[in-house]
Amino acid sequence: MSRRDGVLLVLLGAIWGAIYPLTAVVLRDLPVSVVVIARTGLAAIVLTPLALRSGALKAVRGRWRAVLVAALVQVAIPLALLTGAQQYVSAGLAAILVATQPVWAAVLSATFNNAVRVRQMTGVLIGLSGVIVLFLGDIDIGSSSGWAAVALVAAAVFIAAGALWVERTLSDVPALGIATAAMAISTVVIAPFAAVVTISPPPPSTLGLLLILSVVSTAGALVLFYTLIRRIGAVRANLAGYLDPGFAIGYSIIFLGDRATPTALIGLFFILAGSYIGAMSR
Residues 130-168: tens digit of each pLDDT? 888 887 777 777 788 899 999 999 998 998 888 888 878
Query: Predicted confidence band at 213 (pLDDT cuts at 50, 70, 90)?
Result: very high
Spatial separation of the C-alpha atoms in residues 145 and 132, rounded to whole Å: 15
| CA torsion, ordered 199, 205, 207, 211, to nearest 10 deg | -160
Taking CA atoms, 189 is separated from 78, 182, 225, in Å, by 13, 10, 25
Query: Predicted confidence band at 261 (pLDDT cuts at 50, 70, 90)?
Result: confident
Query: Predicted confidence band at 180 (pLDDT cuts at 50, 70, 90)?
Result: very high
Query: Predicted confidence band at 279 (pLDDT cuts at 50, 70, 90)?
Result: low
Query: Predicted confidence band at 48 (pLDDT cuts at 50, 70, 90)?
Result: very high
Mean pLDDT of 8-24: 91
Spatial separation of the C-alpha atoms in residues 205 and 202, rounded to whole Å: 8
The confidence score (pLDDT) of residue 136 equals 77
Mean predicted lDDT score pLDDT of the chain = 85
Decide: 271 and 279 in contact? Cβ < 8 Å: no
Position 100 pLDDT exceeds 60: yes
Query: Predicted confidence band at 231 (pLDDT cuts at 50, 70, 90)?
Result: confident
Decide: 103 and 128 in contact? Cβ < 8 Å: yes
The confidence score (pLDDT) of residue 234 equals 57
The confidence score (pLDDT) of residue 235 equals 55
Spatial separation of the C-alpha atoms in residues 30 and 209, rounded to whole Å: 12
